[in-house]
Structure 1
Amino acid sequence: MSAPPPPAHPRRLGLTGSIGAGKSTVARLLRARGLTVLDADEQAREVTRDPAVLAEIEATFPGVVRGGELDRAALAARVFGESARLAALNAIIHPRVRARMLALEQAAAARGEEWVVQDVPLLFEGGLEAQMDAVLVVDAPLDLRVARVTRRSGLTAQEVLARDARQMSGEEKRKRATFVLDNSGDLASLEAQVDAALAALGIPTDDQQDKSPSRG
């Protein structure tokens, strides 16, 4: 009797959080524990390197492709706060990102991986919650998040607050989370919370991996 076929995709652990909460740090911790982390933003960047996609974006938003490359700041300025323009951009990008994420999931399934992490900044806003088997929400107080982003990005506090206001509130994200990771303390505290969440979900980790967040 032949063995049953592998599942179409592994179980999905969603990872999300408000701007400046520390989602990227948690993603590195999960990679260090041997989990495959699929980064939706990274896949979107790959999609926008495709000349055909760039041509479609330029046709919709003239002037944002310069020298064969996407001017991300110019595009962001064009769509920020404009729901119709954002919807037009998403219609170009999102189907291609979903296809890339699915292909990566199928590769993980073929390797025998039981879980993959889907790192999606706007997971709840994009209606992807129902596709996840569990969701980790990384959170921290607003003043701390604003301070982190202004230090690393050059954005003003007002600009960070404007971006935060256009996302689902942290309170609502916490309500919808399977586990909330409080990133207001030190790294050791965050690591302990990550390990506790994985253990509660029964997700095996690779003890041979270096658990330093610099990996991945």
Structure 2
Amino acid sequence: MSNPFIIGLTGSIGMGKSTTATMFAEEGVPVWDADAAVHRIYAPGGAAVEPLRAIYPDAIVGGAVDRNILKDWIGKDPSALKQIEAVVHPLVAQDRADFIAGSDAPIVVLDIPLLFETGADDRMDLVVVVSAPADLQRARVLARGTMSTEQFNTILAKQMPDAEKRKRADVVIPTETMDDARTAVRAVVTQVKERLSHA
């Protein structure tokens, strides 16, 4: 079994990445979601539960990792994030490797929010960035009602600027409208399939 063609999908908060990932799935392309992988390893019986219990027992509630307690710990202890990442990153990488190894599809999408920030873009065959105007991005995030403007600005400050992501992308998918995004997704899938048929 040859390795699949790997599309790395990324984009800043509120840019429509999850919706775009769903569109790839609707085109028959299996999608691996980094956030979902973290949820799996944090769930009861998940691979991160015991290693994190060993370094910070308070973070385990009801047999699962409590993200809010981890956030509080990160806020209090400057070394906490590095300790957590040392446990979580290899487990997420293993989850990703298992997904790729277990797929017999010719193309797969890896949905990774911090694709550039973690250097994972080097391992992709094609990097796709979803993008929308900043005012639309802000409106989408605040409309969810799950975070304040301050929290949104904090997250934005930690992410690579959208303009930089667009510069480093092989393909930019505009998400002002869902029709634009769907057309762009179909074009990417068609082009990759053509590329593979001539390989």
Alpha-carbon distance in 2 for matches of 1:123, 1:171: 15
1:144 is the counterpart of 2:136 = yes
Gaps of 5+ in 1: 1-5, 205-216
Cα contact 2:52–2:87 (8 A) shared by 1:
yes
Aligned to 1:24: 18
Aligned alpha-carbon RMSD (Å)? 2.1
1:153 Cα deviation (Å)? Answer: 4.5
The 5-angstrom pairing of residues 26-45 of structure 1 reads 26-45=20-39
Aligned to 1:123: 115
1:74 is the counterpart of 2:69 = yes
Cα contact 1:54–1:70 (8 A) shared by 2:
yes
Alpha-carbon distance in 2 for matches of 1:191, 1:81: 43
Percent of residue pairs bearing the same amino acid type: 34
Distance 1:202 1:81, change over 3 A: farther
Distance 1:82 1:153, change over 3 A: farther
Alpha-carbon distance in 2 for matches of 1:70, 1:56: 10
Distance 1:25 1:80, change over 3 A: farther
Cα contact 2:47–2:91 (8 A) shared by 1:
no
Distance 1:52 1:120, change over 3 A: closer
Deviations 1:132-154 (A, max 9, x none): 00011011122222221222242
Cα contact 1:26–1:194 (8 A) shared by 2:
yes
Alpha-carbon distance in 1 for matches of 2:170, 2:188: 9
Deviations 1:51-102 (A, max 9, x none): 6632322343342222222221232343369764222111101111111211
Runs of 4+ deviating beyond 4 Å = 80-83
The number of equivalent residue pairs is 194
The 5-angstrom pairing of residues 27-106 of structure 1 reads 27-49=21-43, 50=45, 53-79=48-74, 84-106=79-101
Question: Whose helix proportion is higher, 1 or 2?
Answer: 2
Distance 1:62 1:35, change over 3 A: same
Aligned to 1:159: 151
Gaps of 5+ in 2: none
TM-score if structure 1 supplies the norm length?
0.82
TM-score if structure 2 supplies the norm length?
0.88
Cα contact 1:147–1:157 (8 A) shared by 2:
no
Aligned to 2:127: 135
Give the letter aligned to residue 193 of structure 1.
Answer: A
1:199 is the counterpart of 2:190 = yes
